[in-house]
Amino acid sequence: MSNTKICIVDSHPIVCRGLKILFYPHKQWDVCAVASTAREAFIKIAECGPHIVISDFPLPDMCGIDFIDHVCCQWPQTHVLVFSCAKSREFVECIFHAGARGYVCKSDDDKEVVQAISTMALGEVYFRERRQRKTVKRKKNVTSREMQVLQMIAKGLSTTQISQRLFVSRKTIETHKHNIKRKLNLRNATELSYYAIKMFS
């Protein structure tokens, strides 16, 4: 059986080095690439074809949702494991909807990362808590674009600012907000903002 190839994407060199050291005893795993940005990651994923991409969230040059979506679309055989400081249930839902196949919080024990890789190498989905696994199964069909809008709302961007960043009209963003509120049973803009902030905290 061939080794499981892994690409690490994180802007902090100490995190990348730490993961490589953690994986060293596992001879069946091969860290084939390390990248610090999404742009660099796309080049290296295309070159080495990893089975698993361990990615920080967000990345310096790209919205995390867009990164996951792009990897899933361009390299469907490659699975994304999100390795982030964010740990709310809403955040887990967000990355699951975007296409991530696993999640580990950076504050977790290193055994969680090892377990996640072992599980995903078998083609299975891994989330660090059973409670969160149940949560992510309750999909609300929020689209990747809507998740991107939520992330920008969490950053405090206005409708105009979001429309400018996404190169769409204000009306389109308002439609996205309306659909998000409907799907998530949120009554108004205040609840929408609170949900977005909680999701990405």
pLDDT tens per residue, range 122-138? 999 998 654 444 444 44
pTM over 0.85: no
Q: Which of 137, 164, 189 is the last residue of a domain?
A: 137
Judged by DSSP in three states, 13 sits in: helix
Q: Which domain range does residue 42 map to?
A: 4-137
Whether residues 36 and 13 fall in one domain: yes
Distances in Å between the Cα of 77 and the Cα atoms of 19, 45, 52 are 22, 11, 9
Distance of CA 4 to the CA centre of its chain: 20
Whether residues 151 and 133 fall in one domain: no
- pLDDT at residue 129 in the model: 54
Whether residues 80 and 42 fall in one domain: yes
- The position carrying tokens 């196949």 is 101
Short-list 32, 143, 145, 132, CA closest to 78? 32
Short-list 75, 11, 66, CA closest to 46? 75
Whether residues 158 and 123 fall in one domain: no
Short-list 160, 163, 148, 141, CA closest to 200? 148
Residue 178 belongs to domain with CATH number:
1.10.10.10
Whether residues 76 and 167 fall in one domain: no
> Can you state the angle between helices 170-184 and 159-166, rounded to 10 degrees?
110
Total domains in the fold of the chain: 2
- pLDDT at residue 172 in the model: 95
Residue 2: φ, ψ to 5°: -70, 155
Cα–Cα distance, 51 to 91 (Å, whole number): 23
Short-list 98, 91, 76, CA closest to 128? 91
Q: What tens digit of pLDDT does each residue of 27-68 get?
A: 999 999 999 999 999 999 999 999 999 999 889 988 888 899
Whether residues 107 and 15 fall in one domain: yes
Cα–Cα distance, 47 to 104 (Å, whole number): 26
Q: What tens digit of pLDDT does each residue of 149-191 get?
A: 988 898 899 999 999 988 999 999 999 999 999 988 899 999 9
Short-list 52, 62, 51, CA closest to 83? 52
Whether residues 64 and 38 fall in one domain: yes
Distances in Å between the Cα of 130 and the Cα atoms of 90, 107, 134, 137, 145 are 15, 17, 6, 11, 27
Whether omega before 76 lies within 30 degrees of 0, making that bond cis, reads no
